[in-house]
Amino acid sequence: MSNPRQKYSEAQIVALLSQVSRVCPLCAEPLFYKKNGKSFKNYELAHIYPLNPTKEEELLLKNEERLSDDVNDEDNIIPLCEICHGKFDKPRTVEEYRNLLGLKRKLIDRSGQEAIWRTYTIEDEISQIIEAIYDDPELENEAEIDFTPREVDEKLDSTISRPTKVKIKGNVREYYIFIRNKFAELDSVNSDMSEIISLQIKTYYIKQKKMGINQQAIFENIVSWIYAKTKPKTSDAAEIMASFFVQNCEVF
């Protein structure tokens, strides 16, 4: 008996499209196009594991991971442009299946992180330090001080990519003393503010660690969380703050 194709609600479709940011996750083609002032869909909802697999597909994917036992579950559905959907389905290959499943898993993980962001807060005062990164003249003086990020070398493991490690160490060299001094200024106005913020960062880190996430993903998640909560001008300011807390021992 074949599986019936599920009709998804408008809310489910919006959630699935938002998950891929309204672009095809395989080719980055927009999933909508405009013509004569109107928007038209350029996507199809693809089943990662086939809705009704052929005998050949059942054999091909017999030992492959599935994100849900229910083929119509949203975890097994991903919007693709029409061309990529056709290529993915015919002929189906294990490599393309694994690639799309991996992409979907990352999207699911990111959606889960967004839910966590709403639970964990950061004091608004951290935004003052982030703003100072952009235009505070004291930064030029602090950057001249020689500082070796020893904590970073000791704590980062093999799951951290080389470019990320280099970025973290560079951020610590350039900004650690400056940010530390800015936290001291915060404390002079609002006692223990730096400790409050540090504890908030550490609590969020511990949550990530308990989820069994590797260091690379934890760092990226902390950067995304800080960015979402503080809305800096650019994401590199959130990376600088996350790097500070790596050196300062709240992270890793």
- Residue 151 is predicted with a pLDDT of 73
Please, are residues 80 and 24 in contact by the beta-carbon 8 Å criterion? yes
- Is 16's pLDDT higher than 80? yes
- Residue 147 is predicted with a pLDDT of 64
User: Tokens 């807390």 correspond to what residue?
Assistant: 245
**Burial category of 202 from C-beta neighbours within 10 Å (exposed 0-12, middle 13-18, buried 19 and up):** middle
Tokens representing 230?
A: 């503080």
Least-confidence region, from 22-26, 141-145, 157-161, 217-221: 141-145
- Residue 138 is predicted with a pLDDT of 78
Single-letter residue type at 13 = I
- Residue 178 is predicted with a pLDDT of 93
- Residue 200 is predicted with a pLDDT of 95
Tens-digit pLDDT profile for residues 109-168: 888 888 888 888 899 999 999 999 998 887 766 555 556 667 787 888 999 999 999 999
C-alpha separations of 39 from 9, 14, 32, 36, 80 in Å? 19, 15, 6, 9, 17
Single-letter residue type at 53 = P
Instruction: Give domain limits for the chain.
Output: 10-117, 122-247
Tens-digit pLDDT profile for residues 56-95: 999 999 999 999 999 999 999 999 999 999 999 999 999 9
Does the pTM exceed 0.85? no
Tens-digit pLDDT profile for residues 193-211: 999 999 999 999 999 999 8
